[in-house]
A and B are shown apart, each in its own frame.
Chain A
Amino acid sequence: MNIFIREMKDNRKSLILWSIGVLFMVMGGMAKYEAYANTGQSINDIIQQMPEGIRSILGFGTFDLTQAIGFYVMLSLYLMIMASIHAALIGAHIISKEEQDKTAEFLFVKPISRYRIITLKLLAALTNIIIFNLVTLFSSIFMVGYYSNGNQFIGDILYVMIGMFLLQIIYLLIGTGIAAISKNPKRAAALATGILLVTFILSMMIDINNKLQSIKFLTPFKYFEGKNLIFGDGFEPFYLILSFMIIAIFGTGTYVFYRKRDLNV
């Protein structure tokens, strides 16, 4: 329990900063909506008629941008990117920092097993990303509520946030997994962000070039897209199963590899 509290304290400042960041993102993003709402229906026509490539490089989908929730879906992509950066960083950092900050010899001589240490650290990281998710959720509900004229939206936002949460867990565990496996603890965070950037750029390439649809499973950013969750098929079982598999693999990987890890002290 002490470890959990210690980790929470350690991440407090960065969590506050990230929360403020996402708050501004939601507020600023939705403020942009006003410009679109005023143009009325015509902006939808124009976007409908755009060629696919142009549409995706500008960040539009086929959804109604004059509705607050339609605009929110466009924004949700950026929220998801932020959330996954946060999750990947915290995952890599929380595992690798003991070796990096030379506190490993202090922590690991305590009468607790490595399993326990990892579990408590994971719990602390999980709490962090849940708080981040809740901040996003409430600020989204508030801001979309402010702009939508009495339309239903809370369910839709919840849907997007559940998707975002799964994405957060995936990247958190990718972070911890890499930190547990990689020989050099300094490299863990950089590697995790590297993977994140590659998967992100891949998802953009898929958007721009339709022929790449078949490799969607390679990038988690394509598993739970706001536009599919709200206007499409919702959560697709295939991607749900795939995410749970990724989560299971990296989760057990973290435990298995860290248990036998030769610590750098």
Chain B
Amino acid sequence: MNMFLHELKAYRKSTLLWTLSLAILIILFLSIFPVFSQNAEEMKKLLEGYPEGIRKALGISIDSFTTLLGFYPFVFGYILLCGAIQAMHLGTSLIAKEMKGTAEFLLVKPVTRHQVITAKLLAALVSIIITNIVYLLVSSLMATFISTETLTINTFLLVSLTLFYLQLIFLALGMLFSVVIPKIKSILSVTLGTVFGFFIINLLDSSVGEKSIRYLSPFEYFDITYISKNASYEIPYVILSLAVILVAMGTSYFVFAKKDIGA
């Protein structure tokens, strides 16, 4: 319990900062929407005159573009990117920060390593959950406030919740990295490198259009356009995400329990 509280305290400031930034970001983004819905109708007419290929290249599904749910995926991508950075940074620092000199203090205490990692993990989870609750509240309030027609709040929540799932994946990945890489010099570079790496794969994929690439980047496990259209997740990818999370966390527990930690 002490460890849990200590970790929570350690992450208090960064959780607050991230939560605030995500909330402000989504408010700013959604406040653009009215300009959009004004132009949307004329835009719709404009696009209909063009062949299918172009519409695909632009990544716009015309029918949904005029509604808030059609607009949301465009801005949500940036939220996902920020959220992934937060989660991965949190996950990586859980273990890696102790290696900078506090490991010998922590690990001689009469607690097992499993207890240590569990307490840390729980604290990180709480931090992410807080961020998500605030984000969900702010974004859905803003969305209902701004939407021109009645908003299907269920679908909106389904889309917004992918932030939480993606964060879980990156939290697990970060933890895995921090126990597997022998010595992490800079937590931030590892984090940014991985997150942007996956983000670029994601960009690449939309150009190659190869289906198999989709498995490579967590950013693509949740196809937001698909979710907002069908109001449901794609089951194979849900299973895949779960598998990634479980395997990464399981391996971290296993490796950390036996890891040779030079203090």
Contact = CB atoms under 8 A, between A and B. Distances in A.
Interface of A: 14, 17-18, 21, 24-25, 28-29, 31-32, 35-36, 38-39, 42-43, 46, 49-51, 53-54, 57-58, 82, 85, 89, 93, 97, 100-102, 189-190, 193, 197, 201, 205, 208-209
A205 B35 CA distance: 13
Contacts of B46: 46, 49-50
B196 A21 contact: yes
Contact of A43 (B28, B35, B54): B54
Secondary structure of the B side of the interface?
Answer: helix
A51 B197 contact: no
Contacts of B74: 57-58
Contacts of A36: 57
10 contacts: A21-B197, A24-B204, A42-B51, A50-B46, A58-B58, A58-B59, A101-B185, A193-B188, A201-B28, A208-B32
Interface string B60-83: 000000000000001100000010
Contacts of A28: 200, 203-204, 207
Given A38-B53, A208-B32, A25 B200 contact: yes
A14 B189 contact: yes
Given A21-B197, A43-B58, A193-B192, 4 more contacts: A39-B57, A58-B59, A89-B186, A208-B32
Interface in B75-93: 75, 82
A35 B204 CA distance: 13
Contact of B192 (A38, A85, A205): A85
Contact of B203 (A29, A190, A201): A29
B25 interface: yes
A49 B58 CA distance: 14
A54 B39 contact: yes
B196 A53 contact: no
A31 B206 CA distance: 10
Contact of A35 (B39, B43, B57): B57
A31 B200 contact: no
A50 B55 CA distance: 13
A85 to B, nearest CB: 6
B182 interface: no
Nearest to A28: B204
B58 A24 contact: no
B43 A97 contact: no
A189 B189 CA distance: 9
A62 B207 CA distance: 22
B204 A46 contact: no
Contacts of B28: 201, 205
Nearest to B65: A54
A93 B100 CA distance: 15
B193 interface: yes
Interface string B88-117: 000000000000110000000000000000
Nearest to A32: B207
B239 to A, nearest CB: 28
B41 to A, nearest CB: 11
Nearest to A65: B57
A4 B237 CA distance: 48
B54 A51 contact: no
B32 A209 contact: yes
A193 B187 CA distance: 13
A58 B73 CA distance: 12
Contacts of B57: 35-36, 39, 43
Contact of A54 (B43, B50, B54, B207): B43
Contacts of B151: none
A82 B43 CA distance: 32
B204 A53 contact: no
A193 B47 CA distance: 38
A213 to B, nearest CB: 16
A42 B39 contact: no
Across chains A and B, which 8 residue pairs bring their CB atoms closest together, nearest first? A32-B207, A51-B39, A28-B204, A189-B188, A53-B35, A39-B54, A35-B57, A31-B207
A31 B192 contact: no
A218 to B, nearest CB: 15
Given A24-B204, A32-B207, A209-B32, A93 B186 contact: yes
Contacts of B204: 24, 28, 31
